[in-house]
Amino acid sequence: MTRTQILEALANPPATQRVDLRDKDFRGLDLSGVDFKRADLFGTHMHGVKLRGANFEGCNLDLTILRGADLDGANLKNASIFGVVLVDAKLKGADLSNARLIADLQRANLEGAKLVHGKFAADMKNQPMGKLHVSMVNANLKGADLTGTDLSGCVLKFANLGGANLTGTNLSTCDLRGADFTNAVLTRAKFDRTLIGGAVFTGITGKDSITGLEQAQGREDARFD
C-alpha cells in the first residue's frame, strides 16, 4: 500500500468496525504522525518503517513485524501487541500504558518510555500462549516508567533500567541477570523466584519494601550498595 491509500482508508472508517489494514505491506513508507486509532493491523509488515509519533491507541497489532521500526514518541496505549517482532525497534518516549504485549524487544530502545500498568506477562493458563514471553535482552529502558506493570516471566538480561520507575512492578520469575537498576525506584516491586545474578542495584529506592529479594537466585553475585 502507499501512504495515500492508507490515509484514504483511515479517513473513511466503517461505521461500526475497525479500519481493515490486516496483512498489508508498509515497508519503505514514512508514516510518521499517522492516526491509526483502533485500526486492525493484524499481521502487517512494517519492518523498518518510520512511525514516529503515530497514534496506535487501541489498535490490534498482533503478529505484526516491527523489527527496526522507528516508533519514537508513538502512542500505543491500550494496544494489543501479541507475538510481535520489535527487535532493534526505536520506542524512545513511546506510550505503552495499559498495552497487552508479548513480543521480542531485544536491543529495543525504550528510553523514557511509559509502560504504566502494562500487561506483559505470559498467559500461563493457556499452555501454547504460556510458552511465549517478553524478551527485553539488552534493551534500553533507562528512565522508563513501569509503574504497576506485570513483567512476570520476562527476560531482561543485561537490560538498562537505570533511573527507571518500577514502583509496584511485578518482576516475579523474571531473568534479570546482568541487568542494570542503578538509581531505579523499586518500591513494593515483586522479586519472587527471580534470577538476579550479576545485576546491579546501586542507588536504588525502596529496597526494604521489595518482596522476594532475599530469596532471589544469584543474590550473592548481584551488586548492592
pLDDT at residue 12 in the model: 82
pLDDT at residue 123 in the model: 61
Q: Please, are residues 97 and 115 in contact by the beta-carbon 8 Å criterion?
A: yes
pLDDT at residue 221 in the model: 96
pLDDT at residue 15 in the model: 73
Residue corresponding to grid cell 490486516: 22
pTM of the entire predicted model: 0.93
How high is the mean pLDDT in each 10-residue block of the chain (225 residues)? 94 84 97 95 97 98 97 98 96 98 97 97 56 90 98 97 98 97 98 97 97 95 96
pLDDT at residue 14 in the model: 76
pLDDT at residue 125 in the model: 52
To 5 degrees, how large is the angle CA 88–CA 94–CA 99? 95
pLDDT at residue 191 in the model: 97
Residue 163 C-beta-side C-alpha neighbours within 13 Å: 8
Q: Secondary structure of 52-76 in the HEC alphabet?
A: CCCECCCCECCCCECCCCECCCCEC
